[in-house]
Amino acid sequence: MEPKSHLASVLAAGHFAVTAELSPPRSAALAGVRHEVEILRGHVDAANVTDNQGANVRMSSIAVSLVLVQEGLEPVMQVTCRDRNRLAIQADILGASAWGVRNLLCLTGDHGKWGDHPAALDVYDMDSVHLLRMVREMVDGACFDNGRSIPAPAPHLYIGGAANPFAPPYEYRPKRMAKKVAAGAQFFQTQIIYNVPRFREFMAGVRDLGLHQEVNILAGVAPIRSAGAARFMAEKVAGMDVPQSLIDRMSGTPKAAQPAEGIDICIEIVDQVRQIEGVAGVHITAINWPEAVPEIVKRSGLWPRPEIQRN
């Protein structure tokens, strides 16, 4: 039998799951990836490998996911619809599954005009909902997007989607999530949460639709390193909701103590989102700061991570 996703097994066993983002390098070197793997190892159940996030070119998520498989840290391979059409995405999925990738996060993707190649042609042959349906058909129906059968073995994947509780209109966000569940999502990772009351309202909407009983929802959290970074996220990053009170707290902290304050805030948010019914885990994004992840995990009481028999 094909080994199952470790992340899926952790969640199925009722543990509060922990994932963290791992950004591929901008260079052709793997040393940084291997270094980050060593930092995250033992502190997370799986690591998300981003796909040209922010529409900025980086090493491909499939290449870095395969390194993680080699190194024994389970990847969540991310795939966007921005850079590849359905032929290329299906080809990558076959290859990734054959090499042991067991989790896939399906995204529409940040728009290309915000990235470092604004003249590039965005593909958007499909969006995240269509992508989720296509992947679910490949996995459960052993069938390509054109309806033709996939010769055995079909890919074997735990399928995820993203949710952004902070994008208006807010009342639509649980409904968008419901569409992704109907299309085949089995787990979700959310946009980074700084506005916990808004996230609580989102989760109430999710519970009204019963989605928390159908899928596992990992709440996105991220330590902020400085007051400047807090202001940047509030003003320049689309889809982020950074309350003024948080910016004031960071600004009121001496510069040298701001990284520690950012970690404290992140741990407080982990604690708050953990209490919300329907939250099954956290997804930590520590941008250019992987060393923050073990500290957040340990001080949140989420270490050691569960050992689960695979299969």
Ligand X SMILES: Cc1cc2nc3c(=O)[nH]c(=O)nc-3n(C[C@H](O)[C@H](O)[C@H](O)COP(=O)(O)OP(=O)(O)OC[C@H]3O[C@@H](n4cnc5c(N)ncnc54)[C@H](O)[C@@H]3O)c2cc1C
Report DSSP letters for 100-168, one per residue.
T--EEEEE----GGGSS-TTSPP--SS-HHHHHHHHHHHHHS-B-TTSPBPPSSPP--EEEEEE-TTSS
Per the listing, tokens 């609580």 go with 200
Q: Using CA atoms, how far apart are residues 293 and 280, in angstroms rounded to an integer? A: 18
The answer to whether the peptide bond before residue 153 is cis (omega within 30 degrees of 0) is yes
* Binding status of residue 62 toward ligand X by CB under 6 A: no
* Binding status of residue 50 toward ligand X by CB under 6 A: yes
Per the listing, tokens 């208006």 go with 168
Residue range at the interface with ligand X (CB under 6 A); choices 51-59, 86-94, 95-103, 292-300: 51-59
* Binding status of residue 108 toward ligand X by CB under 6 A: yes
Query: Out of 45, 51, 137, 241, which residue is the one contacting ligand X (CB under 6 A)?
Result: 51
Instruction: Give the residue with the Cβ less far from ligand X, 154 or 273.
Output: 273
Query: Out of 5, 19, 53, 90, which residue is the one contacting ligand X (CB under 6 A)?
Result: 53
Quick one: angle between helices 292-299 and 258-274, nearest 10?
A: 50
Q: Are 303 and 267 in contact (CB under 8 A)?
A: no
* Binding status of residue 251 toward ligand X by CB under 6 A: no
* Binding status of residue 273 toward ligand X by CB under 6 A: no
Residue range at the interface with ligand X (CB under 6 A); choices 4-12, 52-60, 148-156, 271-279: 52-60
Instruction: Give the residue with the Cβ less far from ligand X, 190 or 253.
Output: 190
Q: How far is the CB of 121 from ligand X (least distance, A)?
A: 15
Instruction: Give the residue with the Cβ less far from ligand X, 104 or 227.
Output: 104
Q: Are 203 and 279 in contact (CB under 8 A)?
A: yes
Q: How far is the CB of 16 from ligand X (least distance, A)?
A: 17
Residue range at the interface with ligand X (CB under 6 A); choices 25-33, 49-57, 68-76, 200-208: 49-57
* Binding status of residue 128 toward ligand X by CB under 6 A: yes
* Binding status of residue 127 toward ligand X by CB under 6 A: yes
Report DSSP letters for 62-107, one per residue.
HHHHHHHHHHT--EEEEEESSS--HHHHHHHHHHHHHTT--EEEEE
Residue range at the interface with ligand X (CB under 6 A); choices 2-10, 104-112, 136-144, 270-278: 104-112
Contacts (CB under 6 A) with ligand X, residues 149-208? 161-162, 164, 167, 176, 189-191
Burial class from Cβ neighbours inside 10 Å (0-12, 13-18, 19+) for residue 35 reads: exposed
Binding site for ligand X (CB under 6 A): 50-53, 55, 78, 80, 82, 107-110, 127-128, 161-162, 164, 167, 176, 189-191, 220, 238-239
